Each structure stands twice: as C-alpha cells, then as structure tokens.
C-alpha cells in the first residue's frame, strides 16, 4: 500500500483531519526512506503528483525534525536537501539531479514564482502557508541562481516551535516579570540587541503578543516580515519605493499608534524619530546591532543622538543569544570546573566582573553536564537538543542615567549596570543555565565569546 493512503482515498472528500496525513507521511525513519518509497510507487502516479507529495513530505519532516530552514540545492550531479536544526545544517537527502521529480518547480509554484527560474538573475522572494499536523506553517522562500542551477531556501515558521510566548523564551522568573512590566510601560523605548540568529525577532514578537489586545493599536515596520501575527499591523520596509525605516516611521506616527515595533535602527534619522516619539507617549521596541546591552548607549552616541534624549526616553536594553540545550538522553553529569581553570578563564575579564563570574562558577550545588561527543539518535549525534535564550537585561535607573548624561564609556556603564542595576551579563546568565544542567559551560563560552 502506498504510504499516503489507499487508492480510493482520492474519491473521499478532503477532510480537515490533517493529523492522519501527517502520521502516514512521517512513518519512515528518514526523508530518504520516504523518498525511495515514493519513487518505487511512481508507476502509479504522474510526476507532478509525486512532486507535490515530495514537497509536502519535506515540510512534514522539517517540522518533525524542528528545522528552521530547508535548503534545496542544485549541485553539479545531485539535488541536495539540508535542514538547519538548532542552528546547524544537516544533510537529509541527496538525489540525482534531473531527478524524476519536478520538485523545485512545485515549490516555485507554491511560492508564487513562475515554474521555471528566470533566465537572467532576479531576486525572488515568496511565501506560502501549509497546514501540517493541524498547525498553520508559514514558509518564506528565497531563490538564488548558483552556477549549478537554482538554490531554494525555505524558512519554516512554525508558531509552536518559535515559542511566541514570553514564558517560552528561556528567561528566569525575575527577568520575565520585568519584561512583562516593560511591555506595559505607557511610553519609552526598549532595545533588544544580539547578532543575526540570536532570537531577538522572536523575543520582540513574544513581547508584542503579550500585549496584543483590541484596546491598543500596534504597528510594526519590518524587513522582512518574519511571521504574520493576527491583530497587529505589520508592514514591510521597501527601500526601492522610498518606504525606508525613517519614512515608514513618519507614516506610522500618523496612524495613531500606541505601540510601535521598529525592526532595526541603524541610522540617525530613524533613531532620532524613534527616541522622540518615545518621549511623546508612544511605546517602542526595536533592535540595534551591538555586542551587549550597555553598548547600546555608545552605539546611539555614535549615531549622533544627544545624551539627554537617550536618558529621558530609554526604558532599557536587553542583549540575547541562543545556546543549545544539552541532550537529556545522552549527556552526562560533570564536575564543576577546578580553581585553576576558572582562574585561567576569568583572566581577561574586568576584575570586577571576574569576581562575580568566579563565584558563580565555583558555587556548590551545581548540576553541570557535558554533552556526549557521539550523541545519540535523539539528538542526531550532536549531543545537543533544542535551544534556549540567555539574556542580559539592563534597565535604566538614576545611576545609569547620570553616566549617559556624562557621556561615559560602555565599560563604565556596564560596571554601573552590574553594581547598581543588578544586571546579569550574558556570561553570568549562561553560567546559571549551565549550573542548572540546561546547557554546558562549553556551549555558553562558545556563544558568549562571539562578538556580533
Ligand atoms: Zn543525545
């Protein structure tokens, strides 16, 4: 029996019972097995039907494996499919090119492209939605012409997987409580900082979702719109048509907004308008490209923002990274690091910060774990399974405000934020997660050592 159902399934009306379809399709251990079974049954179906089934199957497996992106790549001989899982690409399928299945055409059509790629280079971006396992999965598609043919990247946006609730981001109870108060501020601006792929967009969406009610007008400016949220007015920046960040923001301000999300601030105009509107009764969330929370202030100085404007409009800044969670199936308990290695590790830190980090590392009652290098089937041999955030939250207070007005350096602001604002750095928050056995010290060091 073909795995997608018996022959007379075709005559039955389409049921919204997608659950069964899902279970049928992912009964194989791997996408490769599913693909082979599909090919063996090809005498019974036309190629396009198989391509439709294959594209569905790829998405079903992507969801099952918690992939964030699916890469479908033309290579010289093969068509390769890779999944990005917890930030790392894995080969999941490699089939001969000119394969029997018009797979890329199928995905092109779903994305709203012409079935055949354009003969001259053109940037193509599309999106479609698919019901998988009773969940509406949004897929954003980008096509890229390589010398071997087309490469398609499908960003899979699964709301359940994204964890669009503040509770799912990985914050400790105290940070979470503060963030829930921040999003209820009547006005002011709050910055989220972190590198690409640090989860900051997900955090911003979770914050907006937390306050999304009919009573307030929430407008976003994004590039690109990552995920569509019900009840929120999202708009897409388009430099070509003149809908730039600053122009977009001026337009938004004429739309009677309560809360504004500005995807990114990278120029003086956008920064200036954002901070001024935060002073005049609007609440803004935005991201900015800096290595940690305190350096947000220096970044704004560099853009030419006057200290008084910052000091009076800023609620705070939060930096974040994603760390891989250690696999619960195959990881092992580990001893705390010895004094000598701790001293070696903190050698390059600011002495004030080093002292706190050392205390955290050697405090008793830690549940440190190490990843199993060989991994297990559960974690695809990586030793890690899933990811969670680590956070560095700096709230504006009188002490920091004074430093801002003094035009102080990031180092000074950071020190004041730790000593007077009880700020926990990314490293400190990461160590707490390692102490709890959620992740490993090696992973925390790897992630926090990366500069932007
Ligand atoms: Zn494992």
Q: Quote the pLDDT of residue 10.
A: 34
How far, in Å, from the CA of 338 to the mean position of ligand 1? 26
Domain co-membership, 123 together with 202: no
Domain co-membership, 234 together with 256: yes
How far, in Å, from the CA of 376 to the mean position of ligand 1? 4
How far, in Å, from the CA of 381 to the mean position of ligand 1? 6
What is the length of the chain? Answer: 452
Assess if residue 1 is contained within a domain: no
pLDDT tens string, the chain, 452 residues long: the values are 333 223 333 333 333 333 444 445 567 888 888 888 887 776 667 778 888 888 999 999 999 888 999 999 998 888 999 999 988 899 999 988 766 678 888 999 999 998 888 877 777 889 999 888 888 899 999 999 888 888 999 999 877 666 689 999 999 999 999 999 999 999 999 999 998 889 999 999 999 999 999 999 999 999 988 888 889 999 999 999 999 999 999 999 999 999 999 999 999 999 999 999 999 999 999 999 999 999 999 999 999 999 999 999 999 999 999 999 999 999 999 999 999 999 999 998 989 999 999 999 999 999 999 999 999 999 989 999 999 999 999 999 999 999 999 999 999 999 999 999 889 999 999 999 999 999 999 999 999 986 54
Inter-residue contact 447 to 391 (CB < 8 Å): no
Domain co-membership, 110 together with 233: no
Question: Cα 105 vs. chain centroid, distance in angstroms?
Answer: 28
Q: Which domain holds residue 314?
A: 163-449
Assess if residue 180 is contained within a domain: yes
How far, in Å, from the CA of 344 to the mean position of ligand 1? 30
Which residue, 111, 135, 159, sits at the end of a domain? 159
Domain co-membership, 69 together with 217: no
Q: How far apart are CA 204 and CA 234, in angstroms?
A: 13
Alpha carbon distance, N-terminus to C-terminus of the chain: 52
Overall domain count for the chain: 2
Query: Measuring CA to CA, how many Å separate 94 from each of 39, 79, 150, 155, 276?
Result: 14, 6, 15, 20, 53
Domain co-membership, 362 together with 444: yes
pTM comes to 0.84
Inter-residue contact 257 to 248 (CB < 8 Å): no
Q: How many CB atoms lie within 10 A of CB 341?
A: 12
**Phi and psi of 172, rounded to 5°?**
-75, 165
Q: How far apart are CA 328 and CA 87, in angstroms?
A: 18
Assess if residue 2 is contained within a domain: no
Angle between helices 295-303 and 410-421 (to 10 degrees): 140
Domain co-membership, 135 together with 186: no
Assess if residue 240 is contained within a domain: yes
How far, in Å, from the CA of 371 to the mean position of ligand 1? 8
Query: Measuring CA to CA, how many Å separate 340 from each of 255, 335, 336, 345?
Result: 59, 14, 12, 9
Domain co-membership, 35 together with 57: yes
How far, in Å, from the CA of 387 to the mean position of ligand 1? 14
Q: How far apart are CA 160 and CA 158, in angstroms?
A: 5
Which residue, 115, 142, 159, sits at the end of a domain? 159
Q: Give 66: exposed, middle or buried? Use CB within 10 Å, 0-12, 13-18, 19+.
A: middle
Q: How far apart are CA 374 and CA 378, in angstroms?
A: 11
Assess if residue 43 is contained within a domain: yes
How far, in Å, from the CA of 438 to the mean position of ligand 1? 13
| CATH number of the domain within which 425 lies | 3.40.50.300
Domain co-membership, 242 together with 360: yes
Which residue, 108, 141, 159, sits at the end of a domain? 159
Domain co-membership, 138 together with 189: no
How far, in Å, from the CA of 329 to the mean position of ligand 1? 5
Question: Cα 144 vs. chain centroid, distance in angstroms?
Answer: 22
How far, in Å, from the CA of 39 to the mean position of ligand 1? 32
Domain co-membership, 253 together with 390: yes
* Beta-sheet pairing, 188-193 with 314-326: parallel
How far, in Å, from the CA of 298 to the mean position of ligand 1? 42
| CATH number of the domain within which 101 lies | 3.30.450.90
Assess if residue 60 is contained within a domain: yes
Inter-residue contact 279 to 313 (CB < 8 Å): yes
How far, in Å, from the CA of 342 to the mean position of ligand 1? 27
CA atoms within 13 A on the CB side of 209: 19
Q: Quote the pLDDT of residue 1.
A: 31
How far, in Å, from the CA of 326 to the mean position of ligand 1? 8
Q: Give 235: exposed, middle or buried? Use CB within 10 Å, 0-12, 13-18, 19+.
A: middle
Domain co-membership, 202 together with 335: yes
Domain co-membership, 105 together with 212: no
How far, in Å, from the CA of 448 to the mean position of ligand 1? 23
Cα angle: 347, vertex 352, 355; to 5 degrees: 65
Q: How many CB atoms lie within 10 A of CB 343?
A: 12
Closest residue by Cα to residue 422 from 400, 447, 440, 443: 400
Assess if residue 204 is contained within a domain: yes
């Amino acid at each position: 029996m073909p795995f997608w159902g018996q022959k007379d399934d075709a005559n039955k009306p389409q049921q919204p019972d997608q659950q069964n379809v899902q279970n049928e399709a992912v009964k194989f251990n791997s996408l490769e097995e599913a693909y082979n079974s599909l090919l063996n049954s090809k005498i019974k179906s036309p190629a396009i039907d198989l391509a439709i089934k294959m594209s569905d199957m790829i998405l079903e497996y992507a969801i099952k494996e918690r992939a964030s992106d699916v890469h479908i790549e033309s290579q010289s001989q093969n068509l390769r499919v890779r999944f990005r899982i917890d930030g790392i690409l894995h080969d999941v399928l490699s089939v001969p090119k000119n394969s029997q299945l018009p797979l890329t055409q199928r995905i092109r059509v779903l994305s709203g492209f012409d079935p055949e790629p354009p003969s001259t280079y053109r940037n193509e971006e599309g999106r479609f939605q698919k019901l998988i396992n009773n969940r509406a999965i949004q897929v954003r598609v980008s096509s890229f012409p390589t010398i071997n043919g087309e490469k398609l990247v499908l960003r899979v946006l699964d709301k359940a997987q994204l964890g669009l609730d503040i509770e799912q981001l990985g914050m400790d109870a105290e940070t979470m409580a503060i963030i829930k108060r921040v999003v209820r501020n009547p006005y002011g601006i709050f910055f989220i900082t972190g590198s690409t792929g640090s989860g900051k967009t997900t955090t911003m969406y979770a914050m907006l979702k937390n306050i999304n009610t009919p009573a307030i007008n929430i407008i976003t400016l994004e590039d690109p719109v990552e995920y569509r949220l019900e009840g929120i007015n999202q708009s897409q920046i388009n430099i070509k048509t003149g809908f730039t960040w600053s122009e977009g923001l001026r337009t938004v301000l004429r739309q009677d907004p309560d809360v504004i999300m500005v995807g990114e601030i990278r120029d003086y105009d956008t920064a200036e308008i954002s901070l001024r509107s935060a002073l005049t009764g609007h609440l803004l969330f935005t991201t900015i490209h800096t290595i940690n929370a305190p350096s947000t202030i220096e970044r704004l100085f560099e853009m030419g923002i006057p200290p008084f404007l910052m000091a009076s409009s800023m609620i705070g800044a939060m930096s974040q990274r994603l760390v891989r969670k250690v696999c619960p199936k195959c990881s092992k308990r580990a001893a705390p690091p010895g004094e000598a290695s701790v001293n070696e590790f903190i050698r390059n830190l600011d002495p004030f910060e080093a002292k706190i980090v050392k205390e955290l590392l050697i405090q008793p009652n830690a549940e440190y774990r190490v990843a199993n290098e060989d991994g297990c089937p559960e974690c695809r041999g990586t030793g890690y399974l899933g990811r969670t955030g680590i956070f560095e939250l700096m709230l504006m207070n009188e002490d920091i405000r004074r430093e801002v007005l003094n035009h102080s350096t990031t180092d000074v602001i950071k020190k004041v934020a730790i000593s007077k604002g009880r700020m926990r750095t990314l490293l400190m928050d990461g160590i707490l997660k390692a102490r709890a056995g959620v992740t490993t010290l090696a992973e925390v060091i790897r992630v926090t050592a990366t500069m932007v």
